[in-house]
Amino acid sequence: MSTTTLTPPLAKGQTDDARISLRGHVRHTSALVRRNLLWIRQDPESMFDAVLMPIVFTLLFVYVFGGSIGQALGGGQDQYVQYVVPGMMAMMSMNIAMAVGTGFNQDFQNGIMDRFRTLPIGQGSVLFAKVVVELMRLLIATTIMMVVGVLVGFDITNWLGLFAAVGLSALFGTSIMWIFLVLGVSMKSAQSVQAMGFLVLMPLQFGSSIFAPTKSMPGWLQGFTDYNPLSSLADSARGLMVGGPVAHDVWVTVGWSALITLVMAPIAIHKFRTKS
């Protein structure tokens, strides 16, 4: 006796990704990237977070917390600048990643995604294009943050390490984007995606080594920071740019990035294809 596996029917005009060649996926993704970039050009206010957030947060943490935390580090504000600027790469990767979820949800509310799902294109291409554009925004935000960091006293002594840290931050940020794409397609409104994002981001960011050393934290919180991937990313960037051991933290960050992507990317694509 044989059994038959039933698969959900495709919507009118929708194409099975398996029937599209790799070249077709690349072509579709490129066209959608261009569409998203043109949308940003028409709505430059959508770049405010990528442009202003790095400036505001860098100045805020350096000049508000730089003196006190810098003294705890054995120096002053200059010492804190060397500590916090590399760590803030982890913060940029998380904050920019959250924007892809809210934007994706808004596109559903506006009916744009319903239109895309009726076109004879690879359904995964829609999501990959979103990730590519947000990755560009992440690189812009990171560049601005580094420029501001240099202006407030950050000393770049290892350019190769700087580029490696930016690449590692981009890798981790890309993996987090898949989580927010799942939230964007699953939740009912952009406000709920943003609220959920803040509930996740705040504990992860402040319960890490991004802004301050973890040695003075309570024991239970130190245990949390040890397993927090943002701590690994911040410590990796710090070691690559300023100096110190990096091998363990780099591999932990790469491992987290690969695991999150392998789990969440298929879920995001499946939910996008089957969303009613």
Residue 2 lies in a domain: no
pLDDT, position 276: 63
Report the b/e string of 32-60 with b at 16+ CB within 10 A: bbeebeeeeeeeeeeeeebeebbeebbee
Structural domains in the chain (count): 1
14 in any annotated domain: no
For residue 272, how many other CB atoms are within 10 A of its CB?
21
Measured from the Cβ of residue 9, the count of other Cβ atoms closer than 10 Å reads 7
Lookup result for tokens 């190769």: 160
11 found inside a domain: no
Q: Does 5 reside within a domain?
A: no
Between the two ends of the chain, the Cα-to-Cα distance in Å is 34
The segments of the chain whose pLDDT lies below 70 read: 1-22, 117, 119-120, 276
Which of 171, 170, 43 has its CA nearest to residue 107?
43
Assess if residue 13 is contained within a domain.
no
Spatial neighbors of 230 by CB under 8 A, at least 6 apart, are 90, 91, 94, 204, 205, 208, 209, 210
> In terms of residue numbers, what domain contains 175?
19-274
Predicted confidence at residue 187, as pLDDT, reads 87
Query: Quick one: pLDDT at residue 159?
Result: 92
Q: Is residue 9 part of a domain?
A: no
pLDDT reported for residue 168:
95
pLDDT at residue 16, rounded to an integer: 52
Length of the chain: 276
Identify the three-state secondary structure at position 122. strand
Report yes or no on 6 lying in a domain: no
